[in-house]
Amino acid sequence: MTDRYCVFGNPVAHSKSPAIHTAFAAQTGEEIEYTAIEAPLEDFAGAWRHFVAEGGRGANVTVPFKEEAFRLCDTLSERARRAGAANTLILGGNGASDDAKVYGDTTDGVGLVRDLRRHGVTLAGARVLVLGAGGAVRGVLEPLLAEGPASLLVANRTAEKAARLAADFRDLGEITGGGFDAVAGPFDLVINGTSASLSGDLPPLPDDLFTAGATAYDMMYGAEPTVFLRWAVERGARPCDGLGMLVEQAAESFFQWRSKRPDTAPVLAALRHSLG
């Protein structure tokens, strides 16, 4: 019997996850079926239960359901607990004795760190700036801090939100938080975790933000560079978008489900080509 997996979201028709996981399955010889399911905004838990009743073994979860996914889990990874969100659900995961128990993890931060490594970015000893203080940022801070940066500043339009977020992770490393007006560079790595790129906006940032050879990373991606990446290139930074993060976080989910780690390079190349 073919094991079933899916991605839950609303909307979700645009998701590239089915193509990614279908490619992973073909590459590794795994017999799986992976689909996209648009869960009702008011009943994600019901959509999950229905999926399990029909033979579902695990799922990815995207906006706006990551916090709801977190709440329905019986057990959680440490990084999911820190993030307060889950993007990967596994029935009977983490060695659970009860196959009906739900294990939750978040693979976004792992995906980001692996993609940064692929781009040759060294996080150990680096000065890092992360823009935004929402769920996308919360989900990547633990893996970023595990790499041992010299400092990590979280900057957000609402300074208090950034400060509270930094305080939640202060036991893991050198992290502070504040408003955009408190940003003083230069930084070796600047990560845009805001949704500004979706609307073509740019956070208010100083021109002297980057060290020589710095990397600018936008968690968003598209056929063309985001406004943040275009702005960064004009100031001498090397641009990287979030397509590789998407593929790498999917690979981590696939590994947890199937205990096989796919080769992400050809899948990423195919996705990049499809963007035109």
Looking up tokens 């996080």 gives 123
Smallest CA-to-CA distance from 265 within 67, 118, 107 is with 118
Smallest CA-to-CA distance from 106 within 148, 147, 136 is with 136
Integer Cα distance of 93 and 86 in angstroms: 13
DSSP-derived 3-state class of residue 71:
helix
- Per the annotation, the verdict on 66 as an active-site residue is yes
Distances (CA, A) of 163 to 120, 135, 173, 175: 30, 15, 14, 9
Cβ 17 vs Cβ 71: under 8 Å: no
Catalytic residue of the set 66, 101, 161, 260? 66
Q: Which two tokens stand for residue 239?
A: 């641009």
Q: Which two tokens stand for residue 185?
A: 């560079």
Cβ 275 vs Cβ 222: under 8 Å: yes
Q: Which two tokens stand for residue 276?
A: 């035109």
Residues serving a catalytic function are: 66
